[in-house]
Structure 1
Amino acid sequence: MCGRFAITLPDDAMARLFQAVPANDLPPNPNYNVCPTNPVAAVTSDAGQRHLRPMRWGFIPQWYKTPADGPLLINARAETIAEKPAFRAACRERRCLIPASGFYEWSKGAGGARLPWYIHRADGAPLAFAGVWQDWEREGERLTTCAIVTTAANAPMCAVHHRMPVIVEEGDWAVWLGEAGKGAARLMQAAADEVLAFHRVDPRVNSNRASGPELIEPLAEAD
């Protein structure tokens, strides 16, 4: 799964990287501890024009009467996304890219302690998570919401967790966004083993209130 991530790339740099028109109300950046229900920046494509726009991280199915009417859907499993009623239409029609600098995952330590890790691209480039999105509206309240697509972890990541986000390489962005015909399904797989690197970080990130660049720094004397 993916339950937290960091984004440190400035808005204008994100817009240039994805060749997208940025919205005026993007969420504050940098954010070293993006949590579920937080606003995130996502890239969508409309008739070939890409947009960088804010979305709530936590997909709301159309049948929810309130945003809290059911489970919080922050992730969509690649193996079942095309079949699940919540995601089926979005998988076909509303795919997005969610930029990130890295993400957090937790392994279990002695006595069941939660040991946080920061995972990022080995080459230092930004990540582009595969995502799906949709608008939800009830009684005048309207939210644009998204979920990150996840898949079974690759071999290195299995040492930390059995799931990981689907990471879309730059050459495949147009396919995932629906600009270059069909083929999105083949992208929903784990990144190659050499793409990611990871290191232990301070357990302070276990709190969703923690913030600051020190959250992604390697933990000194990690076990």
Structure 2
Amino acid sequence: MCGRFALTASPEEVREILGLMELEAFPARYNIAPTQPILVVVAGPPSEPGSNRPDRIAALVRWGLIPSWVKDPAEFTLLINARSETAIDKASFRAAMRHRRILVPTSGFYEWHRPPKESGEKPQAYWIRPKQGGVVCFGGLMETYMSKDGAELDTGCILTVGANRTIGAIHDRMPVVIAPEDYTRWLDCRSGEPRDVVDLMKPAQEDFFEAIPVSDLVNKVANVGPELQTPVTPRATTSKPAPAKPGDGQMSLF
């Protein structure tokens, strides 16, 4: 599950690592939550021979994918994550997996270790970031939803995969990380079939992320400052991470 993340890198840094020709200025965001707008990168339109049209362009979408066939979003589960293992075949994600793969640039994400309820222990929040710092891109999916009045809304979600051992001590899922050398292949929905990118949907290497215990400030969407990432002493725990629950791990905010 990925329910909160941050993008604190400068627009210049994001533009450089993603090879974007243009990117409007944006502020550092320390607590990005579902239903909020998120920055994503999509493949640009086909270029004419000799054209300098960009191969990738930036866009804003609402975090929480709504498939195009949904009749009433208020009665549909908000899809902030998609399980990579089933995204190719599942009706909610199948079309987006084939035609609208995206990159979601981030500086890292938040996760909670949730002890069993009977233990009486409170969840411990963690800020999980690349050890080397910088920008990391999650694999994601995008859909454009059209309401009954003809208004269009671009929406997106983040793909997840079973956690590696490092993150597995906190949670059983983690976002799919797309390496820079694989950006083009991931975004290529014109010549690349979903089966051609299955190998990219895997856990990050064990030493890629570091998990930093932080306070409960991140629990509230209204808290948006850098203090959310200040390290704290983790709560003592005598329990193991909670086992995975049945279901697809989606979250509803309606």
Is TM > 0.5 for Structure 1 vs Structure 2?
yes
Distance 2:10 2:210 in 1: 22
Matched-pair contact (CA < 8 Å) for 1:11–1:22: no
Give the % identical residues: 36
User: Matched residues in 1 for 2:184 and 2:23: separation?
Assistant: 20
Counterparts in 2 of 1:141 and 1:3: CA distance versus 1, 3 Å = same
Q: 1:80 aligned to 2:86?
A: yes
1:42 matched residue in structure 2: 40
How far residue 140 of structure 1 moved from its aligned partner, in angstroms, is 2.5
Structure 2: runs of 5+ lacking an equivalent: 48-54, 236-254
CA-CA distance at 1:108 after TM superposition: 2.4
Q: TM-score, normalised by structure 2?
A: 0.82
User: 1:185 offset after TM fit, Å?
Assistant: 1.0
| Aligned match for 1:96, one of 93, 97, 102 | 102
Q: Root-mean-square deviation (CA), in Å? A: 1.8
Between the aligned partners of 1:168 and 1:29, the Cα distance in structure 2 is 24
Q: Which structure: larger Rg?
A: 2
Which of 49, 52, 57 is matched with 1:51 structurally? 57
Counterpart in the other structure of 2:5: 5
Residue 127 of structure 1 deviates from its aligned partner by: 1.1
* Equivalent in the alignment of 2:247: none
Local SS of the residue matching 1:91: helix
Give the Cα–Cα distance (whole angstroms) in 2 for the partners of residues 90 and 213 of structure 1.
Answer: 34
**Aligned counterpart, 1:222:** 234
SS at match of 1:156: helix
Q: Quick one: which amino acid aligns to residue 202 of structure 2? A: Q
43-52 vs 162-171, greater mean Cα deviation: 43-52
Q: Relative contact order (C-alpha < 8 Å, sep 6+): which is higher? A: 2
- Contact 2:100-2:141 at 8 Å conserved across structures: yes
* CA deviation string 1:97-151 (max 9, x = no partner): 0000010000125514121000010111211000010111111321111110000
Kept in 2: contact 1:23–1:53 (CA 8 A): no
The total of aligned residue pairs comes to 220
Kept in 1: contact 2:2–2:174 (CA 8 A): yes
Alignment CA distance shift 1:71-1:34 (3 Å):
same
**CA deviation after TM superposition for structure 1 residue 64, in Å:** 1.8
Q: Return the alpha-carbon distance in structure 2 between the equivalents of residues 42 and 192 of structure 1.
A: 23
Partner of residue 118 from structure 1, selected from 120, 127, 141: 127
Aligned counterparts of 1:74 and 1:127: Cα–Cα separation in 2: 18
Spell out, residue by residue over 1:137-184, the C-alpha distance to the aligned partner (whole angstroms, 9 max, x if none): 111321111110000000111110000000011111111111784531
Query: Between Structure 1 and Structure 2, which shows a larger proportion of strand residues?
Result: 1
Residue 163 of structure 2 is aligned to residue 150 of structure 1:
no
2:18 corresponds to: 18
